[in-house]
Chains A and B, each alone.
Chain A
Amino acid sequence: MESALTTAEPTHLAHQFDSLEQQQQTATLGMWFFLAQEILFFGGLFMTYLLYRWRDPQAFQAGSYTLDIRFGMTNTLVLIASSFTMAMAVRSAQTDRIKALVRYLVATGFFGVTFLCIKYVEYSDKWHHHHVPGPLFHFAGPMGQRAEVFFSMYFAMTGMHALHMIIGLGLLIWLLSGALRGRYSARYYNPIECFGLYWHFVDIIWIFLFPLFYLIGRHYHGVA
């Protein structure tokens, strides 16, 4: 493998590595270990959800019914689209098409922002219906106070997810500025690939959150 020093372009090879390939493989491996800890991090929330839903399935059903399934499904499709554009962004970098990389990064960001806007609408709606846990919580219907834990888990988990999306969008802006300044190429696109892994992970979390919060016991109430 030719030494990075013989190429004309600025080398991104860090001193501790022997080759760009070793550096790239190391970066992705590091990202995967980071995702492993993210799985365990969210896992604590899923454990709590699991316990409380097992304990009081009816309360969870009642809470789920108050969520708007159209927003949930739209958001799911939006995130899947953003995963597609992100995968295309990585591919563009791999094939040295930097203009396409920029376009796909922008598209990913657009979908991400769309997701957060819809979430904002949903959260506002919950606030107006007094479904936010706390002193102002009030749930109409036989479940009453029992439904509060559903909403605690809803805000905790979708909130943590949204926080990860916000962080992701911040990182995306940083990547975009680098791409616009010609920092990435087919020889060096580690940050794009690593960010892609992160972004897909955040999408996967939502793949679980959507049915777990929006689709509980829908058949009892018929079409929304």
Chain B
Amino acid sequence: MNPHESAAGTNYLNAELGLRSWLLTKDHKRIAILYLLSVSFFFLVGGLFAMMIRLELLTPAGDLMEHDTYNHVFSAHGIIMVFFFLIPAIPAILGNFLIPIMIGAKDLAFPKLNLLSWYLYMFAGTMALTALLMGGVDTGWTFYPPYSSNFSHSNVVLVGIAVFINGFSGILTGLNFLVTIHRMRAPGMTWFRLPLFVWSQYATSLIFVLGTPVIAITLLLLVGERLFHIGVFDPSLGGDPVLFQHLFWFYSHPAVYIMILPSMAVISELIACFSRKRIFGYNMVAFSSIAIAVLGFLVWGHHMFVSSQSVYAGTVFSLLTMLVAIPSAIKVFNWSFTLYQGSVSLETPMLYALGFIGLFTIGGLTGVFLGTLGFDVHVTDTYFVVAHFHYVMVGGTLMGYLGGLHFWWPKMTGRKYPEFWGKLSALLVFVGFNLTFFPQFILGYLGMPRRYHVYPPEWQVLNVMSSAGASVLAVGFILPACYFLWSLKYGEIAGRNPWRAKGLEWEVPSPPPTFNFEVPPVVTEEAYNYAGGLEPRPTGLASAKTH
């Protein structure tokens, strides 16, 4: 049989046809594609709100929209991007598609639960969009009471319930991944032969299961406060609004590790493949994923330094925040040491991976600055914070997502994307991103508050730079949308392993058959069993057909 094709040319895409077969599928790969479509849609919506923000901030005066409208716009941007893009993207798309194949299984442990996760996501997303069309909320994505419970005349309850439901989508996905990784590994696939992608997704799944229920109950309490005045957050009823912040950030801080760990998962795979080398310090990278997940639960108070939280608690949180930087730093060091004396090639996915390392380092270090209590008091609620989290979320998570999409696109679709356009887009994203967000560090340090639609005229130059960068960034996002779609019909047929990469996913045809493996694999090799500089370079996607 031709190893580049499954029997009779059937794969998971054409095995069954018709909308019903997609909407009732139990195949983890099809569910991943369903997520790809819906997550991309929400990214577009969130991006449109971002464009509105950057348009308003071109001028110091509030001339594009009222302050109240602006509050609704940045709230929508945050809620859509955090809950409906950043948290689900890599786990639900790449995690769903790859984890069973990477461990040598036919599917996830609970395929029907997987489909339920997608339907919960869609239901929640529809509810959120409905709420937005009804005017959205003006509370920010953080929903702090007593404003959200007592004073806001916006759709807090509807959005709160939407986020609540979306939470359960994530919990079920995390649960599914944890059980799958524990129970469904192929013979010979021991824990320390797993790709680091799986380790990071495992750590992410721990956070999904342990953290998300807390925001679920917190939003329910907030709805109870708003509708029934139960008095837990409302100071006029004897409640404490800071309790909401404790409960909210107990989840929402680990949530940012839900966003970054899967991206780090991708980066490990990309660095290994495009250096033709085993990741340096495999064990340490694996343990650091778990460490990030665990330590990430101990630091939430660094979002509350100026909230009237006790100074002593603040000090402890500040110290613990320093600790959580260490495993992230270990990863960055280990990826860098992997590059050293590796056979490095600069295909599109690698460009994203290298960009990630640089930008995540900046984002992570500025996180350490913010974790320093004294410094944070100066820059809290300024654009410094905004710049920091966009560096880690866009420069980190999004770069990893795009790198992963490009890397596994041939596997998922059987087609190659055009390499020239891939590289160009990566460059545009990198340049556009830095132009957008680096000025914001300066603005924040100079004192420009976040969530304001007006600012003193002397800051206009930096704001214009930022908005200009956003336009470049937008082009960098639109291009892949176009050429990925183009490639589905006109892209070169990809073989089983166009990157000559190691890993079980590259042993199956592109696209894979519905049950992944013709014969259940037996694993005898370590992960990333490259021969260092002796490995042949990937044939890459820069074939004779480059433009």
Interface residues of A (CB under 8 A from B): 14-16, 22, 25-26, 29-30, 33-34, 36-38, 40-45, 47-48, 51-52, 133-134, 145-146, 148-149, 152, 156
Mask of B128-162 contacts with A, CB within 8 angstroms, 1/0: 00000000000000000000000000000000000
Q: Which of A37, A42, A47, A48 contacts B175 (CB 8 A)?
A: A37
**Given contact pairs A37-B212, A44-B214, A29 touches B228 in the complex (Cβ within 8 A):** no
**Given contact pairs A33-B175, A148-B237, A15 touches B107 in the complex (Cβ within 8 A):** yes
Interface of B (DSSP majority class): helix
Residues of A within 8 A of B105 (CB): 16
Enumerate the 9 nearest inter-chain pairs by beta-carbon distance, A residue then B residue, closest first.
A44-B217, A41-B213, A16-B107, A152-B230, A40-B213, A37-B213, A33-B175, A26-B183, A30-B179
Q: Are B111 and A48 in contact (CB under 8 A)?
A: no
**Given contact pairs A37-B210, A51-B240, A133-B228, A44 touches B221 in the complex (Cβ within 8 A):** yes
Mask of B201-244 contacts with A, CB within 8 angstroms, 1/0: 00000000111111011100100100011111000011110010
Q: Are A44 and B247 in contact (CB under 8 A)?
A: yes
B398 within 8 A of A: no
Q: Are B221 and A33 in contact (CB under 8 A)?
A: no
Residues of B within 8 A of A43 (CB): 213-214, 217
Residues of B within 8 A of A149 (CB): 230-232, 237-239
Nearest-neighbour CB distance to chain B for A150, whole angstroms, equals: 10
Task: Give residues 238-295 of B contacting A (CB, 8 Å).
Answer: 238-240, 243, 246-247
Chain A-chain B contacts (Cβ-Cβ < 8 Å), number: 97
Q: Are B210 and A44 in contact (CB under 8 A)?
A: no
Nearest-neighbour CB distance to chain B for A17, whole angstroms, equals: 8
**Given contact pairs A16-B184, A29-B183, A37-B171, A148 touches B231 in the complex (Cβ within 8 A):** yes
C-alpha spacing A37/B208, complex, angstroms: 9
Q: B110 — nearest CB in chain A belongs to which residue? A: A30
Q: Which of B179, B231, B243, B515 contacts A133 (CB 8 A)?
A: B231
C-alpha spacing A156/B106, complex, angstroms: 43
Count B-side interface residues using an 8 Å CB cutoff.
41
Interface residues of B (CB under 8 A from A): 100, 105-111, 113, 171, 175-176, 178-179, 182-184, 209-214, 216-218, 221, 224, 228-232, 237-240, 243, 246-247, 515
Residues of A within 8 A of B240 (CB): 51
Q: Are A156 and B183 in contact (CB under 8 A)?
A: no
Q: Are A48 and B221 in contact (CB under 8 A)?
A: yes
Q: Are A33 and B179 in contact (CB under 8 A)?
A: yes
Q: Are B214 and A40 in contact (CB under 8 A)?
A: yes
Q: Are B210 and A133 in contact (CB under 8 A)?
A: no
Nearest-neighbour CB distance to chain B for A65, whole angstroms, equals: 20
Q: Are A36 and B210 in contact (CB under 8 A)?
A: yes
C-alpha spacing A51/B246, complex, angstroms: 12
Nearest-neighbour CB distance to chain A for B83, whole angstroms, equals: 17
Nearest-neighbour CB distance to chain B for A29, whole angstroms, equals: 5
**Given contact pairs A33-B178, A47-B247, A40 touches B229 in the complex (Cβ within 8 A):** no
Q: B515 — nearest CB in chain A belongs to which residue? A: A15
Q: B520 — nearest CB in chain A belongs to which residue? A: A18
Q: Are B231 and A156 in contact (CB under 8 A)?
A: no
C-alpha spacing A133/B239, complex, angstroms: 14
C-alpha spacing A112/B175, complex, angstroms: 28
Nearest-neighbour CB distance to chain A for B50, whole angstroms, equals: 31
A-B contact pairs, 12 of them (CB 8 A): A15-B106, A26-B109, A30-B179, A37-B209, A37-B210, A37-B212, A37-B213, A38-B213, A41-B217, A44-B213, A134-B228, A149-B230
